[in-house]
Amino acid sequence: MTTPYRTVSEITCVGVIGAGTMGAGIAQVAAQAGLNVVLFDLSTEALERAESALRSSMDKLVARGKFSAEAADAVCGRFTYAAELRAMAPCDLVVEAIVERLDVKQKLFADLEEICAAEAILATNTSSISITAIGAALKDPARLAGLHFFNPAPIMKLVEVIKGLATDQAVIDTLLAVAKGWGKVAVAAKSSPGFIVNRVARPFYAEGLRLAEEGVAEPARIDTLMREAGGFRMGPFELMDLIGQDVNYAVTCSVFDAYYQDPRFKPSLMQKELVDAGWLGRKSGRGFYQYSEGKPVTAPLEWDEIRFGGFFNISSVVEAPAMQPLIDRMEERGIAIPLRTQGEDGEICFANGATLVLTNGQTTLERSLDEGNPNLIQMDLALDYGSCESLALSTHPECPEEVWTEVYAMFDFLGVKTRVVKDLPGLVVMRTVAMLINEAADALHFGIGDAVGIDSAMQSGVNYPTGLLAWADKLGTSYIADVLDNLNLFYGDDRYRLSPALTQRALINAPFHTA
Ligand code: NAI
């Protein structure tokens, strides 16, 4: 394709504007990829800090054997530290990472248009401002795109390449190739609030906060369940403490406002209280957790106690794909299963009448009444029942203790800690994951990204253990739609409404990913 703009092979000199956290990191990534870099900041202190941070970062890479001393010197040698914007004149690509203000960014790009060649590509690292709005101030908005890195830029794999309304597709294609060449996972996205990651990730925090507000479980338990059952690297509360409650709350508010107060993105009063108190997380020494020497101080969690001698007997199982890894784990531990049948929904039946099923988004009380079985016990979703270390359960309030204790006696035998949590729909991991899947489906529905891009963005941008749409395919889109429908029915809140992309697939249980 012919393009008036620089192509990948023509990009040899990269300008970075703003030498703060992100700019310094982006500049390092470009220099490590062998390109010459011109780094500019209004503040000479910021430039000096960036220079010494680069040196110490390269020294660490040398010490870890990732770079030879000569290669590290060469990376540092590719840098020019500029005190004037004019120094951007020879750059083929300029990436802006300055203060997050539309007027300041627009003025900067208007100045750059006067300085850089007409063929040079201009990019912004903004995380919350519309690319289209920034581009509106340019004479040639077709050459401006978003190039959104994640913090810390040298380590985080993802780069979202964002197309504004006027951006030329050739510019997007070039930036996708540039970012790949820099060793990144590059994903195309459309200019929209939060792009892919900051939008799709909202329920990770929002559902955690709602679960805690509703008293389903305390933050430390939700974090543990999200890690040990959900397979996430961190739970929502520890992650919010790390990001900073103020920063996380501000992103939520900005996405909420940008989507015209869609209840799906509603901020949490619980989090606002923390922000108001100045309990901002690690940086202030207290957030959801208290910190001592940078480490959270937590009381050990209590799990359900084994009573009645830890005795249990299985009478039968209904095998279904979602349940199979658990049944395999039971067999590996030598648990006898006298009778097995196949079915759409899995069940593990105990001789004492307890029936263990995967949550379907109903409360256990409601489902027990529907199914005429007061001994029904719902278990939470696990990424892999074959290896999960903890799991939430919920029961009918009148389920006799000796019935449900057999269920957790079995989990104890399997090495899984359990806790019966407050009986609200979807338990912890299922409710959060279903909402994440719904948001990923909606981003797909509105063309913000494609299924492969959305899944890899969440895996490489925020380290999710698997792609969300792939997770939906594994559980069945109909199952996830049922969970959300049940949540929606229970709460009567538009927050839990299904994305049309999920509704449509769920009708025939069609997957998001097609081979
Ligand atoms: P920062 O505050 O660490 O650095 C910004 C730098 O820009 C400062 O050194 C400042 O002196 C300089 N600056 C401000 N106005 C300038 C101007 N007109 N010309 C030249 N230099 C100017 O900010 P940070 O965190 O690096 O963020 C920069 C951009 O990256 C923002 O748009 C932010 O939304 C975005 N971003 C931030 C992420 C983060 O985790 N911090 C993640 C992804 C994107």
pLDDT digits over 112-123, tens only? 999 999 999 999
Closest residue to atom 39 of ligand 1, CA basis? 151
Task: Cite the residue boundaries of each domain of the chain with CATH code 3.30.750.190.
Answer: 314-420
What's the confidence (pLDDT) of residue 1? Answer: 58
Condensed to tens digits (0 to 9), the pLDDT of residues 381-439 reads: 999 999 999 999 999 988 998 888 899 899 999 999 999 999 999 999 999 999 999 99
What's the confidence (pLDDT) of residue 304? Answer: 85
Query: CATH top-level class for 10-191?
Result: alpha beta
Residue type, position 229, single letter = A
From 375, 373, 378, select the one nearest 363 (Cα to Cα): 378
d(CA 425, CA 410): 23
Could you give the residue numbers annotated as active site? 127, 148, 160, 198
**Residue 103 burial by Cβ neighbours in a 10 Å radius (0-12, 13-18, 19+):** exposed
Ligand 1 touching residue 15 (CB < 6 A): no
Ligand 1 touching residue 20 (CB < 6 A): yes
Distance 129 CA to ligand 1 centre (A): 13
The string of DSSP codes covering 321-365 is GGGHHHHHHHHHTT----EEEE-SS-EEEETTS-EEEE--SS-HH
Closest residue to atom 4 of ligand 1, CA basis? 20
- Total-model pTM: 0.94
d(CA 176, CA 169): 11
Ligand 1 touching residue 254 (CB < 6 A): no
Closest residue to atom 40 of ligand 1, CA basis? 151
Distance 18 CA to ligand 1 centre (A): 6
What's the confidence (pLDDT) of residue 402? Answer: 86
Distance 275 CA to ligand 1 centre (A): 22
Distance 108 CA to ligand 1 centre (A): 13
Closest residue to atom 2 of ligand 1, CA basis? 20
- Residue 346: half-sphere exposure toward Cβ, Cα within 13 Å: 19
State which residues of the chain have pLDDT below 70: 1, 307-308
**Residue 17 burial by Cβ neighbours in a 10 Å radius (0-12, 13-18, 19+):** buried
Domain 314-420, CATH number (from 3.40.50.2000, 3.40.50.300, 3.30.750.190, 3.30.300.30):
3.30.750.190
Distance 126 CA to ligand 1 centre (A): 8
Task: Cite the residue boundaries of each domain of the chain with CATH code 3.40.50.720.
Answer: 10-191
Ligand 1 touching residue 22 (CB < 6 A): yes
d(CA 465, CA 288): 24
Index of the ligand 1 atom closest to the CA of residue 149: 43
Return the bridge partners of 296, or none: 291
Given ligand 1 and candidates 52, 81, 98, which is best to mutate, with the most ligand atoms within 8 Å of its CB? 98
